[in-house]
Amino acid sequence: MTKFKADPFDELAIKRSSFSVIVGALVPYIKFMKKNSLDFCILELDKSALKVDDLKYFYRKKRLWTRSGRPTISA
């Protein structure tokens, strides 16, 4: 059933065995992942947007998507 007045954050359910990628420095999600000891990384264009404690989760490689939909990974 769809909940129209629900906060998406309150509906967050992540399996312990999964690996998640947070796109952007979304502090509430980063805190949630750390608090629950979940496996994740942060994909962020501006590394300075992250707190020092969160840099260990920073994904260091850039992934660029071409128009064909194929990923190109560079250092």
Residue 64 lies in a domain: no
Total number of domains constituting the chain: 1
Residue 2 lies in a domain: no
pLDDT, the chain, mean: 81
Tell me the C-alpha distance between 14 and 67, whole Å: 31
The pTM of this model reads: 0.69
Residue 72 lies in a domain: no
Domain of 49?
20-57
Neighbours of 34 (CB within 10 A): 13
Provide the phi-psi class of 59: left if phi over 0, else alpha when psi is between -120 and 50, else beta: beta
- Whether residue 8 is predicted with pLDDT greater than 80 in this model: the reply is no
Residue 25 lies in a domain: yes
Residue 14 lies in a domain: no
**If you average pLDDT over each of 4-13, 44-53, 57-66, which comes out highest?**
44-53
What is the pLDDT at residue 5? Answer: 76
What's the pLDDT band for 10 if we cut at 50, 70, 90? confident
Residue 41 lies in a domain: yes
Tell me the C-alpha distance between 22 and 40, whole Å: 7
Nearest to 31 by CA among 47, 51, 11: 51
Residue 75 lies in a domain: no
